[in-house]
Amino acid sequence: MTSTPLPDFGTEFDARALAEAGWSIRPAQGRGERQALEVYAREQLIDVLVFSRLSAPVLCGAWQSGRGQHASVLVWGHAAPEGGLPTVELSHRSGLFRRASVHTATPVAADAFWLALFDGPAHRVRVATTTGRAECARVRAGGRR
């Protein structure tokens, strides 16, 4: 992978909000000039996505930085081959109470990948495509604030 300067992603993506929450992304280039995206938590590389025309997982990662009111969760993945942006739902359980937050993902890097940024803690994430395909995962603990 070779890092390149952060380009204008040409989307509604808010790089400032991402940086304020301790996350960053950097475009990169994979083998055969394929588009790639590096995901960082507090300047530590946590994932690399490489564009593929083959079936790739829609949900690639979900990490939490910080705790309690100071937590943020970043969820990312590959754009679905059928098009459209996935809906991303986080759930958090505290005692007997359960809270859910839902966002539509934001496309990045020429719509090959997507991100969703949430405020607050979470335990699980569910991503659903426009065709109803869903993928679930646990949120991993990442960098501390």
Domains and CATH numbers, the chain: 12-141 (2.60.40)
pLDDT of residue 74: 92
pLDDT of residue 1: 42
CB contact at 8 A, 86 and 132: no
CA distance 35 to 9: 13
Q: Record the pTM.
A: 0.81
Q: How many CB atoms lie within 10 A of CB 104?
A: 12
CA distance 42 to 73: 13
Cα torsion for 99, 100, 101, 104, to the nearest 10°? 180
The 8-class DSSP code of residue 80 comes to P
Provide the residue-wise pLDDT of the chain in tens; the chain has 145 residues: 443 333 344 445 667 778 888 888 888 888 888 888 999 998 899 999 998 877 788 999 999 988 877 888 999 999 887 777 888 999 887 665 666 777 777 877 667 889 988 888 888 999 998 888 899 999 998 754 3
